[in-house]
């Protein structure tokens, strides 16, 4: 009985020792990989994009929301948001996709604001390149963003659409979100309002996280 107990103690200590050695060899668990997300604030510099009746410019709204998406991401060390521009400057369309490719981004989200000659037209729409199939990664990302941004804007969900886009030069899933119409009085008010911009940015970020979670 006593010998048996001693054997158990010895084996137990051996187990602890091996455990300590194993931890010493492998070290702490490796941190999860960082995924680079590129947020592209449409237009900039000499290119104002769409302009509202009150003189507000698409380029300012897209930059504000892009920065807020980056801010929303700061709590997650596994996500790094890179902006194609972080100030009011002109960036060539080809360079926007090139930045995403060079950074090894896992997805590319371009932010824009719509315009229409009819001021009653409103709503959110998200574009994928017309070469993308409905079940492509870009289409799934577009659906995740469209649903959430349309919900926080609370106007009209114009759905996911396809067009020939510059973002197709990006070598990763890429979408373009038209966050609302600067030519519509109600949507312009929301797009210029900081707390609404935060809600839109949170919707974009949650859409990205949902997409990434589904892909894991
Ligand atoms: Zn635009």
Global confidence as pTM: 0.85
Distance 161 CA to ligand 1 centre (A): 15
Give yes or no: residues 8 and 99 share one domain. Answer: no
Residues that place a CB less than 5 A from ion ligand 1: 42, 49, 112
Same domain, 123 and 169: yes
Q: Are residues 24 and 120 in the same domain?
A: no
Q: What is the number of other CB atoms lying within 10 angstroms of the CB of residue 151?
A: 12
Under 8 Å between Cβ of 49 and 59? yes
What is the domain range of residue 129? 35-215
Find the 214 Cα to ligand 1 centroid distance in Å. Answer: 29
Summarize pLDDT for 118-159 with one digit per residue, the tens: 999 999 999 999 888 888 999 999 999 999 999 999 999 999
88 and 40 share a domain?
A: yes
Q: What is the CATH number of the domain that holds 101?
A: 3.40.630.40
Count of domains for the chain: 2
More confident residue, 67 or 4: 67
Mean pLDDT of 28-45: 92
Residue 77 pLDDT = 93
Burial class, 209, CB count within 10 angstroms (exposed 0-12 / middle 13-18 / buried 19+): middle
Average pLDDT estimate for 7-16: 55
Residues 12 and 85 in one domain: no
């Amino acid at each position: 009985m006593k010998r048996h107990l001693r054997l158990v103690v010895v084996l137990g200590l051996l187990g602890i020792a091996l455990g300590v050695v194993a931890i010493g060899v492998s070290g702490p668990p490796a941190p999860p990989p960082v995924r680079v997300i590129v947020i592209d604030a449409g237009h900039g510099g000499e290119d104002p994009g769409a302009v509202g009746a009150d003189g507000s410019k698409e380029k300012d709204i897209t930059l504000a929301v892009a920065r807020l998406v980056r801010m929303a991401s700061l709590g997650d060390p596994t996500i790094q948001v890179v902006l194609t521009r972080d100030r009011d400057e002109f960036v060539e369309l080809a360079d926007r996709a090139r930045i995403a490719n060079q950074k090894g981004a896992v997805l590319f989200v371009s932010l824009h604001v719509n315009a229409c000659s009819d001021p009653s037209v409103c709503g959110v729409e998200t574009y994928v390149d017309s070469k993308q199939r409905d079940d492509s990664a870009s289409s799934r990302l577009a659906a995740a963003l469209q649903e959430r941004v349309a919900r926080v804007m609370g106007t009209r969900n114009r759905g996911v659409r396809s067009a020939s886009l510059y973002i197709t030069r990006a070598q990763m899933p890429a979408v373009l979100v038209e966050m609302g119409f600067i030519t519509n009085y109600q949507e312009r008010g929301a797009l210029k309002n900081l707390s609404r911009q935060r809600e839109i940015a949170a919707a974009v970020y949650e859409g990205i996280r949902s997409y990434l979670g589904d892909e894991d």
